[in-house]
Each structure stands twice: as C-alpha cells, then as structure tokens.
Amino acid sequence: MKDNKNLLLDVKQLKVHFSIASKSAWPWSKACQLKAVDGVNVRLYEGETLGVVGESGCGKSTFARAIIGLVEATDGEVVWLGNDLTKMHSVQRRETRKEIQMIFQDPLASLNPRMTVGDIIAEPLETFYPELGKQEVKQRVKEMMAKVGLLPNVINRYPHEFSGGQCQRIGIARALILRPKMIICDEPVSALDVSIQAQVVNLLKALQKELGLSLVFIAHDLSVVKHISDRVLVMYLGNAVELGEAEALFDEPKHPYTRALMSAVPIPDPHIERSKTIEMLEGDLPSPINPPSGCVFRTRCPLANETCAKEKPILTGDEVHSVSCLLA
C-alpha cells in the first residue's frame, strides 16, 4: 500500500493500564485495572495523516499520549524509525522529542499566560538548541509566525490578548518550530467555532504539504476527520475496532460501531438527510475497569450472539481496510 513511503511509526500491541485503588474497607483488597488502551496496532507513514475517532472515554487521547511518552505504556512497542521508544533511556528519548510534537485540545490552557507569544514559540528552540543566538531565535520565531498566519508585530503580546483560533495558531507554531517529522493533534479544533475549525484544518493541511509532516489527528467530528485523513482508526473502549483508508472506511464501514458513528454524521443535502437511517446505539459505554468479556462492543451491538461473549475478535484484513468483528 505504502511501498513508496517510509514507515515512521509502528505501534505494536500498545497497552496503557492504570491501577485504581479499591473502594473496599479492607486494606488487603486488590487494586482494579482500568484498561484505557488494550492492545492497539497501527502504522504511520511519511507524509500521511492518521485520523483517530471514537466516543469520549474510548482511549483516543491516552493512545496519543502514550506514543509521545506523556503517559507510560504498560506493555507493547512504540517503534519510531526502527527504535522502540518505550525501552529508550530518558536522555535518548529527549532527543527523539524534537521529531515528535503535540498540539493540545484547549488552545488557551496549553499556553503559559505569563509568557509572551515570542517566548512561547521560542521555548523549544532554547531548550534543544541553547547555542543559538537571540537574534537568530527571534528571526526563526517570526518566520514561523508568518507561516501559521500570525503577524510578527504581535510577538510581544500575551495569550489572553488573542482569540481561540489565534491561540491555536500559536500552539501550532510552537509545535513546528523544531521542524518535527510528526505532530499529534489531540482534538485541536473541538474548542473552536466551525468557521475557525475550517481555517485551522486547512492550515494544517497546507503546512503538512509544505513541510512533509505526518499527522495523528484525533477528533469527534467525522466530517473533519474525513477531510484531513488518509487513513482512519476507530477505537472503542481502548480497542481498535476498525482501521482503513479514509475513502474505503467512510464508503463502506464494516463494524456495527463504525456504521453507527457514520450514520450520526449530518449530510448537507436535506433530501438525503431526511431519508437516511440512523443506527442508534443502546445503553451506555461500559466501564473500562470492568469491560465485557469477549467482544467489548457486544453489550451494545445489534448483531451480538453467544460467540461474541466468549471470543475476543482481533483486527483482521489488510492496510486498505481491516475490522475487529466476528460477524463482519
């Protein structure tokens, strides 16, 4: 599928489990295990965008943070350019962080309110390249500000003086200043107005084309994911339930959960919107502390049978389209 592309990231059976103290009055009671991510496999190629979708609490953000190292992986491998990040020493991993950056969900909360825009964007340069002179750092900051659509004359202003969209542009500039190979976008447009969302997404696409970036794009809005992604990973309760090229996955979703997500996306044509069938999911998302046996989606699946309770499906198929379902 990607013969002409270099493999950047290869995530193998990634697990992130958290120990939750028991609420029992007995001190010898065992701690519970919250399975935020439970064995996810995915690859990311050079210049590619991987969209990650799913309900709140499905493990999207934890998955992304485990890749970059903000959350410690319980098991599995995160292979970056042939090296397993989970087994690296902290000094080695620090060097790798120049190549992997992150854009956060809340644009204003992710910026230090006591620092000027110039200082915020320059901070990664000062951390990783302390030998650079002040004038060179300032020049690089101004060049990056221009790339993301910020005027250089606002370099001495503070984050509270900007709108949400402008703050996200500052966050993008900070992530790009080191010229990374991959950026993890953790719901970067969910806190923005619809018109500003389009501007930020188009900016990311333009910068990706110009700089040759690879993106991991996490979002709830499937229309945004379809617009920006080359491939899409669908997660449910810490598990990968479907993975495939965006066009194949959106045109013919195979997993019942994916079909339910797709049916909820509004269509601009009123005639099609009124005539389409919405597949409603019954019940609530189960607790990751006590997930269902077998297939984790079976408690809400309209197709589930006795086999689904006994056997846990694995992601099968090819890189064009694969699904984790015994009945698909």
Residue-wise pLDDT tens digits, 99-112: 999 999 888 888 99
Band (pLDDT 50/70/90 cuts) for residue 59 is very high
The pTM of the full predicted model, rounded to 2 decimals, is 0.89
CA distance 278 to 51: 23
Band (pLDDT 50/70/90 cuts) for residue 194 is confident
Angle at 244 between CA 243 and CA 247, to 5 degrees: 140
Positions of CATH 3.40.50.300 in the chain? 7-20+32-99+180-323
The per-residue pLDDT for 71 is: 92
CA distance 244 to 267: 22
Residue-wise pLDDT tens digits, 290-313: 889 999 999 999 888 899 999 999
Region for residue 98 given its phi and psi (left: phi exceeds 0; alpha: psi -120 to 50; beta: otherwise): alpha
Band (pLDDT 50/70/90 cuts) for residue 279 is confident
Helix (H, G, I), strand (E, B) or coil at 104: coil
Class of domain 7-20+32-99+180-323: alpha beta
